[in-house]
Amino acid sequence: MALLNSAATQNARVPRQKLAAKSAEVFLKLVPNLSEGAQATHRFFAIFLTAVAGIGLLILLAVNILLAQDAFTLSELKVEAKVVADQREAINRQIESVSSPAALAAQAEALGMQPSQSPVFLNLDAQAQSLAAGEITRG
């Protein structure tokens, strides 16, 4: 009897094993087979990494060139700003020398003006003006 049970069990296992193998095949067909040449090789990966590194270095070189060009432009602009500041300072010195009191007095004398012998000062304060006119006496 044990012999019959083991034979019946083996017969039941065979279809289960076939069914499991068929279901595994169906499951594997859902995933593409990479062994047919679609698998990436080490050579392709090395070429890809080399290309990415080369492109990265070229981009880095371009950025470095642009920064160097900007540095030259900046230095030229600094020199130009220094020249403009020097010109402005020279013009300011020239204006100061022309508008100095001595220069203004010389120009006035050249026009025929004469200095006042008794200078009068204008006081806009009303009380001070009335005092100067003698209208209000102190005391």
pLDDT means per 10 residues, the chain with 139 residues, are: 53 68 67 58 89 97 93 94 96 93 91 86 69 61
Q: Has residue 24 been placed in a domain? A: yes
What is the rounded CA–CA span in Å between residue 51 and residue 36? 26
5 falls within a domain: yes
Cut 0.95: pTM above it: no
Instruction: Look at residue 80 in the predicted model and tell me its pLDDT.
Output: 97
Cα three-residue angle 56-57-58, rounded to 5 degrees: 90
Let me know if residue 72 belongs to a domain: yes
Q: Is the residue at 131 inside a domain?
A: no
Query: Hey, is 89 helix, strand or coil?
Result: helix
List all residues 6 or more positions away from 123 whose beta carbon is below 8 Å from its beta carbon.
129, 132
Instruction: State residue 41's pLDDT score.
Output: 76
Number of domains into which the chain is organized:
2
Residue 125 maps to a domain: no
Sign (positive/negative) of CA torsion 40, 41, 46, 48? negative
Q: Is residue 127 part of a domain?
A: no
Looking at residue 22, its pLDDT comes to 74
| Domain, as residue range, for 105 | 64-110
Structural domain contains residue 128:
no
14 lies in a domain?
Answer: yes
What's residue 18's pLDDT? 76
The two structure tokens encoding residue 42:
């080490």
pLDDT value of residue 63: 95
SS3 41: coil
